[in-house]
Amino acid sequence: MESKKSVVSSFDVDHLTLKEGLYLRSVYKINDTLAVHSWDMRFRAPMAHAPLGSGEVHTIEHLMAYYLRLDPVIGASVVSFCPMGCKTGFYLSTMNNVDAAQIRAALARVYKQVFPIKSKDDIVGLNEVQCGNPGLYAVASTNEAMAHYMRCLYTREEAEAAGIGSIYNCEWQ
């Protein structure tokens, strides 16, 4: 049977075989000039893994939306960072032809700077003025989720070289 043509690009992905990782999902052209790249930062393999918890999703959203924009290489090119409703990952949108290697390197810089978080106080913007639900967060399980994701992007040797060897050692435990 012919499958319906999808107008949402993520619906064209076979989620039964999708693994954790960083994927370029689509490129949107705005006014035929500005190319916006939509990246799938998949933290959990759909169906194979339990999804992230709501506290983890919210915590990662706050930290990544803030710190990725401060990154010296890709920060000025970040358009948005948003959680997936299915809680298996996040969408990162960029402009200026940022590539996957640059995003991967930026993630290592942010990880090195921010993780592991120690308490609620490390979660930027988590207050009643700046956030709609500041009681929703997680510390230990967010550290675990981020380390797990980074292990998908970095081998042990690459992690050591990037200064994030703790993703394999889990020194905070």
| Number of residues this chain uses to bind Zn ion (CB under 5 A) | 1
Nearer to Zn ion, 78 or 164 (CB): 78
Rounded to whole angstroms, how far apart are CA atoms 5 and 131?
37
Among 13, 100, 131, 152, interactor with Zn ion by CB under 5 A:
131
Least Å distance between CB 16 and Zn ion?
31
Nearer to Zn ion, 79 or 131 (CB): 131
Nearer to Zn ion, 114 or 131 (CB): 131
The first and second tokens of residue 104, run together, are 């991967």
The first and second tokens of residue 151, run together, are 């292990």
**Which residue has the closest beta carbon to Zn ion?**
131
Least Å distance between CB 54 and Zn ion?
11
Start-to-end Cα distance in the chain: 51
Regarding 124 and contact with Zn ion (CB under 5 A), the answer is no
Least Å distance between CB 60 and Zn ion?
11
Least Å distance between CB 126 and Zn ion?
6
- Residues lying near Zn ion in the complex (CB under 5 A): 131
